[in-house]
A and B are shown apart, each in its own frame.
Chain A
């Protein structure tokens, strides 16, 4: 029989695996683009050595692509590093604006594969509370996956940190959420993670919203 700790450990590991796989996949793509465009520059140079003129405008496009992909890879690694450090302390002060921004960055590919856009609407003031950062990311990740599953391709989900309700995070679709099996949300993982974090959750299909209200664990 699974205990709550087993469920939390499995949910955390699953989220870790899914997220690192997604980041490594994106990194591979960035590296592949760099390699192919560097290879093409090499081909141009080989042609120049044979006396054929180089199209400088085209060459500049290739250097621009390499620079762009280097920035992309750097951003991915920065996010991976922030993600990795979320396990450093079991409890610490977390700025929900930063947490939601990280969540959006980590979920970018998952959303893109479902053809759903993600937008972050941060609260103008920092919303800081003491919580378990990795468990929170895991819970947010599961809730966002549910919202992504329920939004049709072409839709957008806005990740909002609400200022009027302290500790509230809402994933809001511009459209009604599609009907999913009733047991899709909350599943066992969401229930147990929310309980561990002292969080309340709710999904309102008609309003196109999935929401969490977090408790300060200090």
Chain B
């Protein structure tokens, strides 16, 4: 599994990436939507973890642009709001979305990643 973390808080993205690597998940991190678009031009990812609120390009727009380039990529959103406000905004933007509220539990994140990347039909 290879994932791309996109969060404007570098100290969060870098620590999370290292923790995922320790758990056998290949993880790269960037701090802007533009950097994410540049990354996917040269490297393939199974999944992107996107912060909803970022300057310039928010998580919803980053997802739209990544999805256009990588149709099979899956997405998980991280929101800093303690409620579902951000999630509703993303859902309104482009349908159903998977999200976690910060601060997250890494096991929850990994479980969510596994669920999204589970081959279709498995476990049904």
Contact = CB atoms under 8 A, between A and B. Distances in A.
Interface of A: 21, 24-26, 28-29, 31-37, 39-40, 43, 47, 62, 65, 68-69, 112-115, 153
Interface residues of B, number: 20
A114 B55 contact: yes
Given A39-B106, A40-B19, A62-B15, A32 B53 contact: no
Contacts of A35: 103-104
A207 B124 CA distance: 65
A32 B19 CA distance: 14
Contact of A36 (B12, B55, B56, B81): B12
A37 B78 CA distance: 17
Nearest to A58: B18
Contacts, number: 64
From DSSP, what is the main secondary structure of chain A's interface residues?
helix
Contact of A113 (B16, B55, B103, B104): B55
Contacts of B106: 36, 39
Given A31-B103, A112-B55, A114-B55, A43 B12 contact: no
B81 A29 contact: no
B19 A28 contact: no
Nearest to A26: B80
Contacts of B18: 40, 43
Contacts of B53: 25, 113
A69 B9 CA distance: 11
A25, A36, A47, A153 pick with most chain B CB within 10 angstroms: A36
Contacts of A37: 11, 15
14 contacts: A21-B81, A28-B82, A29-B80, A29-B102, A31-B103, A32-B9, A32-B12, A35-B103, A36-B11, A36-B19, A37-B15, A40-B19, A65-B11, A112-B55
Nearest to A111: B55
Given A29-B80, A32-B104, A36-B103, 20 more contacts: A21-B81, A24-B81, A24-B82, A25-B80, A28-B80, A28-B81, A31-B102, A32-B9, A35-B103, A35-B104, A36-B12, A36-B16, A36-B106, A43-B18, A43-B19, A43-B22, A47-B22, A65-B15, A114-B55, A115-B55
